[in-house]
Structure 1
Amino acid sequence: MTQPGPESQTEAHASVNTRGAVDLSQLGGGGPQPDPGQPGGEHAAGADSWVVPIRPEQLQQIVQLSAQAPVLVLIHGADEASATMRTTLADHVDAQQGRVLLAEVDASTSPELAQAQGADQIPVATAFIGGRPVGEFDSTVPADQLGEVVTQMVQLATQNGMTQKLPPQSRRAGTAGEEPELPPLHQEAHDALERGDLEAAVAAYEKALREKPDDSQASLGLAQVKLMRRTQDLDVQQTRTGAAENPDDVDAQIAVADVDVLGGHVEDAFARLIGFIRAHTGDDREKARAHLVELYSIVGDTDPRVNRSRQQLARALF
């Protein structure tokens, strides 16, 4: 995969464009894959999957998720080439155990999307990292090279400090009875997200945490959905302008930090809140600190950017 240049200013609510990315159709060797990346490897033993079907209107939310882990968006049809590409990519994505997500859009049920993309362009997959496209490829890439594409995405994300693993998004077909289903409230939250009902997803995760306060997956899911809910109706430019004009308004600074995390500008978000904490005292300072800690959980405690920011936070507080 071609190494991207400096991070663009793609914002959280910019329109999704699956064209104009780096062409990967001439992809060469990408080095050996880790053992879990081999079909029939680690992923074959479990039912968890990181493949999720989405509707066209959910594309932007999925692209925003690429601020946490790389995302492949596959627009497919009902043809044989689409079936091969879907199956092969799903195997390699699930082998990565949460290091990458595959979102599938069925063009046959979305005529407007099929028309916009062009029938001769389907199936087509676009790779997103940090909220922006970093590569695009279609069925001309041999199936035995698709694993290299997935591996390169993970490597590129790691080079850019993205080391978080996403929780499972679905269950692999054909594994019923081999593994327990998702806990009922997790499944309820997942179903709510699929239909775009953020309030119901929040309610399901909150109920899961009341029943099991140490449920780390529910905690992560709740933080992610709350971030989506806080930013879904924000005007990015107005939010940035408001924060610039009101540097002492903690809510204004928090709103921009949320937008930055969704847009992949994680370090900018952290630096903004630490700067506020350093310059303020009292309740506003504590509110900014608590929100920063919540953003840490969303980005992932193992992310090096989180570790660096925690050190800066300690210095700002003490």
Structure 2
Amino acid sequence: MTGAVDLSALKERAQPAQRPAGTAPSGADGPSAPAVVQVTEANFEAEVLQKSDQVPVVVAMVSGRSPGSLDLLEVLERIAVQDNGAWILGAVDVDANMRIAQAFGVQAIPTVVAVAAGQPLADFQGGQSDAQVRQWIDAVLAAVEGKLAGRPAQEGDAEAEAPEDPRFVAAEDALDSGDLDAAVAAYQKILDEEPANAQAKDALRQVQFLARAQTVGPDAVETADANPADVDAQLSAADAELLAQLPEAAFGRLIDAIKRTAGDDRTALRTRLLELFELFDPAEPFVVAARRKLATALY
């Protein structure tokens, strides 16, 4: 499933909902089972996307209405605790967090997806035995061996984890509250102080895109298709397509517009396309392909 969906687009914040009885892993919030967390739309980015840069996050999408999914969750919980932080189990109540299931394209419950470095790596549907789950987990761990940052130091480890940078905390708080302008200002302030701060650069790009894309009208694509010579319309439509997790469509639209234009219009289109490229891993196949098409369009 690598690269199949852009999970970073799941930025909607919401109040965590109560889990149905029996769906929360025992000890999920306590020190005895730090490898098991409850994932909601509110904490998806922090608990899945960010932590998957350290170790694989196995997202189990279950429902209190499905006894089979609860049995599978118990199997996963036992193995997660046994593996002592080598991977993280994220339990999702799909009844309260439908957007997460939609982001993964889930068609059946239970569905389990392993996420590494922010992207889906492997998945399976339906109940599995302990031995089958163990084999699947081992395959996931083997696939990412040496490719992730590893678990940060925890309280009680030889080296304590460094305290969070309060500047980033302020920016994340603004983002969580839906104040994108304040988040942009907070990340920009960090860059003013540390122009080479890669984390702030990446975060600022993402938030600036979200702030701009959320102002695009619902008919942006139709308007652009009807007015191919309107550069502003093409820029807005590309933002709408990228927000809808259609990067190939967004890139293709801007490249086609670049072929039709010259001068300042072409410069504006090319600049925006390069900005959109920076929202993704440069090694993503669709980014590599689009860069080649851009070079052909320009030369």
TM-score relative to the length of structure 2: 0.59
Q: How does 1:1-318 map to 2 (within 5 A)?
A: 54-56=13-15, 76-77=18-19, 81-84=23-26, 88-90=35-37, 93=48, 96-97=52-53, 124-125=93-94, 128=100, 131=103, 133-135=105-107, 137=109, 149-150=113-114, 154-155=120-121, 174=155, 178-236=160-218, 238-318=219-299
The one-letter code of the counterpart of 1:96 is S
CA–CA distance in structure 2, aligned partners of residues 204 and 130 of structure 1 = 31
The one-letter code of the counterpart of 1:246 is N
For the 8 Å contact 1:296–1:306, the answer to whether it is kept is yes
CA–CA distance in structure 1, aligned partners of residues 56 and 284 of structure 2 = 15
CA–CA distance in structure 1, aligned partners of residues 24 and 12 of structure 2 = 14
Which segment drifts farther, 93-102 or 203-212?
A: 93-102
The one-letter code of the counterpart of 1:124 is D
The one-letter code of the counterpart of 2:211 is R
CA drift at 1:262: 1.6
For the 8 Å contact 2:205–2:279, the answer to whether it is kept is yes
CA–CA distance in structure 2, aligned partners of residues 172 and 127 of structure 1 = 32
CA 1:135–1:289: 2 relative to 1, 3 Å? same
CA–CA distance in structure 2, aligned partners of residues 263 and 132 of structure 1 = 13
CA drift at 1:79: 5.8
CA–CA distance in structure 1, aligned partners of residues 54 and 100 of structure 2 = 15
CA 1:99–1:127: 2 relative to 1, 3 Å? farther
CA 1:179–1:211: 2 relative to 1, 3 Å? same
Taking only the aligned residue pairs, the percentage that are identical comes to 29
CA 1:129–1:313: 2 relative to 1, 3 Å? farther
The one-letter code of the counterpart of 1:195 is S
RMSD over equivalenced CA pairs, Å: 4.4
Larger-gyration structure (1/2): 2
For the 8 Å contact 1:201–1:225, the answer to whether it is kept is yes
CA drift at 1:190: 0.8
CA drift at 1:246: 2.0
DSSP 3-state at the match of 2:259: helix
CA–CA distance in structure 2, aligned partners of residues 185 and 264 of structure 1 = 30
CA–CA distance in structure 2, aligned partners of residues 172 and 196 of structure 1 = 30
1:137-179 deviation digits (Å, cap 9, x = unpaired): 46xx8xxxx6xx325972259xxxxxxxxxx9xx998589822
The one-letter code of the counterpart of 1:150 is A
CA–CA distance in structure 2, aligned partners of residues 100 and 260 of structure 1 = 29
CA drift at 1:222: 0.9
CA–CA distance in structure 2, aligned partners of residues 252 and 101 of structure 1 = 39
DSSP 3-state at the match of 1:154: strand
Q: Which runs of 5+ in 2 are unaligned?
A: 29-33, 39-46, 71-91, 124-148
The one-letter code of the counterpart of 1:97 is D
CA drift at 1:254: 1.1
Q: Which runs of 5+ in 1 are unaligned?
A: 17-51, 57-73, 104-117, 158-167
1:39-71 deviation digits (Å, cap 9, x = unpaired): xxxxxxxxxxxxx99424xxxxxxxxxxxxxxx
For the 8 Å contact 2:153–2:161, the answer to whether it is kept is no
The one-letter code of the counterpart of 1:77 is R
CA–CA distance in structure 2, aligned partners of residues 266 and 100 of structure 1 = 25
The one-letter code of the counterpart of 1:307 is V
